[in-house]
Amino acid sequence: MPGPMSSSRRPARRWPVVALGLLALGWSPESAAWPGDEVMRDTDPRADTIVELHFNPVPNTQIAVWLTDENDSFLRDLFVTQATGKLGIGNRSGVWNFLSSWRAPYGPRRSVLPVWGHARGQTYPEIVFHDPNPSHSTSLGFHEATSSAEPYHCRPLLPNEHEAILDSMTCPSPATFRTDKGMFEPGGATSVYPPRGDIPGFNPDKDHVDTQMYAALNDLDAVTGATPSGSQPTFLSFRLDEQEQMAETLVAWIEVSLEGDENPDWSFDRENDHFVDSLLSSYGVPWLGQPSVLYRVSFDPSTPGTYTTDAYVGYGSWDGSDGEINPPDGTISQSGGSGADRLRMMERFDLQFRAAVHTGEGGSCLQQTLPTVETVEVDPIAFDRVLVSFTLPETLPEGTTIRRFRVLQELDATLDSFDPDRAIEAIGVPAVCDEAPGVEQDEDCVFAQPGETIAFEVASLFGNYDYTFSVNYEDQCTNSGMPVLAETRTPNQEFQQIETFCFVATAAWGAHWGEEVFALRRFRDRYLKSSSLGLALVRSYYTYGPVAAALIKDAPLLRAAARASLARMAQVAELVSPIRAPR
């Protein structure tokens, strides 16, 4: 089976440490004047302050986390989801309120994280269409003359496609989709959001020369990360520098946005509130809704403890026009994962909260380079998915606890050309289970012991492309090893335009979003992939499934027979693997 050395079978290569700074924060002294703040203090001082932020977001959010002093003056970025920080959704070509969809190529999402964007005090050249035809400036399509191969964004989606693939974040477009990457606005207009930094190359016949500067302008590489999968606890961590440890009070801010999060006070019409391309009016879905919401937690970096908040402190502008914080009011929803409930209430450290900063765990931390991971392999299992596996080092320094994995991916890259500044964080990397007594585990976490082999699927890839992956891990003190690289090539997308999770079942029922197909896929994800035998069955199925599906997809009698044989399996799968109620 193809793996990291497939085609040329080149071995994994070790690289210098990629800047892995990936977040942390702190929160709330007893004198905090903001609503919802609580604190539970420890007593032992720590020589080196590691800060963790714990929260439980709903799926499909965009999130920014930053640190300020007690007067709310910006100090530094801690984390931003990569669609905003790396892939340029806040600063790209087109009309700002295009009727589009979550992974559309055009229409800057100026309202995505406006408080964070303005608080940073940083501006970038505004991106506009490179296409010189003025009639195309308000169009979702027809930019072929200035469009090069697209490494991330999808063609605009029809409403039924959007509903079908929303859970998987998989493009319906084959890898031949192309986009206008834009250029700097000639008049010198600026944006508070960076341009995209993931473009793998420059096409002089299609791209404007300005695109060669995008990656250099994007200064958020070290703090971007994949959007949390949602509906399960997660955390971010960071080491405070010497000056921050000496401060009496620090404040961590979290801004969270969610597309299409409407309520009676924030209701938007498809045609009248969004800009509809009259030539492509069937494409796109309404995405405007309640504005971004903010959570604020202040903390004393010299006093280890757990600082929490259970309330939002305000919301941003609905159109991203300014960075003002509007105070809480009755227009923002409070439940059901909407509005202020985008961070769900959770329990940890014997406390209930929406966000918590925990400092001082692990005692005095030493900065050190950890041993590297071993036997990294990447096996294609579908046109848009690969199975990543690696083995943790047999021996770790005494007192080391693995806290997270970090896997980066770069399209159209080889072992020799991989650039961590262009790479993005892979989707599907599991959380590491926390073995502390009484701690609520992530739903799909994995235990990370020395010498253990870790395997998981990475999704949302393009078919028939070369990918290089960087694999690493981090301990409780934010130390890491040296990343190990592995490369592979995804197979062609054969016939299914949206996704081929269950090849034969999809062909049998004629669509991948039927209830039976969902049941079979849930059974695969929850049970088969958790054992070595199950993984072997999954690999075998992905090898031979497309062939069987191709045989039956255009033969009604064979499809009927396949449905009859799979229906009972789907019923059993539904019984043992029902849809879990949201937490």
pLDDT class for 25, splitting at 50, 70, 90?
Answer: very low
CA separation for the pair 314, 327 (Å, rounded)? 4
CA separation for the pair 172, 251 (Å, rounded)? 42
Q: What architecture (CATH level 2) is domain 13-17+369-489?
A: Sandwich (2.60)
Note the pLDDT tens digit of each residue in 351-374: 999 999 998 754 567 788 999 999
Q: Which of 89-93, 336-340, 413-417 has the lowest mean pLDDT?
A: 413-417
What is the mean predicted confidence (pLDDT) over 133-148? 90
State the burial class of residue 121 (Cβ atoms within 10 Å of its Cβ: 0-12, 13-18, 19+): exposed
pLDDT number for residue 230: 84
Give the start-end residues of each E strand in 106-211: 124-125, 127-128, 147-149, 178-180, 183-184, 190-191
110 sits in the region (left: phi over 0; alpha: psi -120 to 50; else beta) called alpha
CA-wise closest residue to 65 among 215, 229, 236: 236
* 76 HSE (CA, 13 A, CB side): 17
Percent of the chain with pLDDT over 90: 52
CA separation for the pair 482, 12 (Å, rounded)? 12
pLDDT number for residue 502: 55
pLDDT number for residue 506: 55
What is the mean predicted confidence (pLDDT) over 461-467? 86
Q: How far is CA 440 from the centre of its chain?
A: 22
Is the pLDDT reported for residue 85 higher than 70?
yes
Radius of gyration of the chain measured on its C-alpha atoms? 24
pLDDT class for 407, splitting at 50, 70, 90?
Answer: very high
CA separation for the pair 141, 580 (Å, rounded)? 39
State the burial class of residue 362 (Cβ atoms within 10 Å of its Cβ: 0-12, 13-18, 19+): middle
Domain with CATH 2.60.40.10 in the chain: 13-17+369-489
pLDDT number for residue 5: 32
Name the pTM for this structure: 0.76
Note the pLDDT tens digit of each residue in 503-512: 455 555 444 4
pLDDT number for residue 387: 96
What is the mean predicted confidence (pLDDT) over 179-194? 97
The answer to whether 240 and 78 have CB atoms below 8 angstroms apart is no
Return the structure tokens found at 510: 């004629």
Question: Which residue has better confidence, 556 or 423?
Answer: 423
Q: Which of 64-68, 100-104, 542-546 has the lowest mean pLDDT?
A: 542-546
pLDDT number for residue 71: 93
CA separation for the pair 346, 514 (Å, rounded)? 33
pLDDT number for residue 324: 97
* Angle (nearest 5°) at CA 238 between 374 and 300: 155
Is the pLDDT reported for residue 288 higher than 70?
yes
**The length of the chain, given as a count of residues:** 583
What is the mean predicted confidence (pLDDT) over 407-428? 91
Q: Which helix (H) or strand (E) holds 66?
A: strand 61-69
CA-wise closest residue to 388 among 424, 428, 423: 428
CA separation for the pair 343, 345 (Å, rounded)? 7
The greatest distance separating any two alpha carbons of the chain, rounded to the nearest whole angstrom, comes to: 74
Q: Which helix (H) or strand (E) holds 568?
A: helix 556-576
Return the structure tokens found at 535: 């993984």
Q: Which amino acid is at 177?
A: F
pLDDT number for residue 97: 94
pLDDT number for residue 348: 86
- The stretches of 1-79 forming alpha helices (DSSP H) are none
What is the mean predicted confidence (pLDDT) over 497-521? 50
State the burial class of residue 515 (Cβ atoms within 10 Å of its Cβ: 0-12, 13-18, 19+): exposed
Backbone angles phi, psi at 213, to 5 degrees: -100, -10
The answer to whether 198 and 404 have CB atoms below 8 angstroms apart is no
> CA–CA distance from 51 to each of 23, 27, 359 (Å)?
8, 10, 5
CA separation for the pair 299, 302 (Å, rounded)? 9
What is the mean predicted confidence (pLDDT) over 200-211? 94
CA-wise closest residue to 426 among 475, 376, 476: 376
Q: How far is CA 42 from the centre of its chain?
A: 33
Cβ-Cβ contacts under 8 Å for 46 (sequence gap 6 or more) = 304, 359, 360, 363, 364, 365
Is the pLDDT reported for residue 482 higher than 80?
yes
